[in-house]
Structure 1
Amino acid sequence: MCPVLGHLDGRFESADAEAEHRIAVLYQEFGGPLLRHVRKSTGNDLQWAEDVVQETIVRAWRNSARLQWEPSLIWAWLLTVARRIVIDGRRRKSVRPQEVEPPEVDMMSVPDGSERALSAMVVADALRSLSEEHREVIEQTYLRDRTISEAAEILGIPPGTVKSRLYYGIRALRELLRDKGVAG
């Protein structure tokens, strides 16, 4: 029999005082080993392990009148209760979404569309700088989303000419945008 728990057979003034004394001795005797055991079960999460040990001791206090105070039986009871608490904790974590801190308002960016509007203005200005032939094929194919054949029919030129003007028009547009510092 455990030397610390062995003297618990003496009578106390009240059942509550006896239970409190038993729990104090129980924590003194088994708290450290139980914490080491539970840390392995919690993935070495010290805070969670301490919470589990505390809850296990509280349950021992609540059930102190029904427990058999034989050290090997108490140890087995503590391990079983702690294991169940860890399992319940894992289940709770798996069904509840992970909590996150809301971002600070000062840190949040609010899209205002100004960047897109500014880019559209720069591209429109660059398009105006192109020759009429290049601008027309870019407008028909990119801005109006027409095929090469459709653009050729609307403009009244062969598809090969549309392709050629489109190639050289896009190349000129890229140069203009690069000069303005928009494209890389």
Structure 2
Amino acid sequence: MARLFARRTASRDEALVRSLYEEHGKALLAYAVRLTGDRATAEDVLQETLMRAWRNAESLASTEGSIRGWLFTVARNLVIDKARAKAARPNEVAESPATTPVHRDHAQSVVDSMSVLGAIEKLSDDHRTVLLEIYFHDRSVAEAARILGIPQGTVKSRSHHALRALRAALADRRAAWEGVPA
């Protein structure tokens, strides 16, 4: 018996809220837009107003006076409450146009750099010094040969073999990392 009464009451309450929306919804929305200046916020206010009407459907049906006045008062109070809550919270920091967004994550470049440095450390001293002179100090083959005191052909040969060893070491590291679960 209680379930039947609850169903009848629920359907009656839903019908009341539906009729309130059909009769007063447009006017309430326009009023809320005027108060808030934002349609999305006004729609939230309208929804919350109708939710409160639904929760208080029994007392609302027995209320003497204007239902429309009650709805508008609830809507105004909701707007005031939202304004007070917003004023009580610290301002949100908006992203300024001067702030440049991060275009890509630099973590992979850090990992790559560490891998290259680790592979360079495994090279022989002769190969490592030739690569450092040519690639890190940006010297020509002739300049590297003069600084290292070796013939240009030796610089070319060592750089060729050093790069080949470096590629192999990096390929080994990549293969080892591919086997590791993320």
- TM-score for the superposition, normalised by structure 1: 0.46
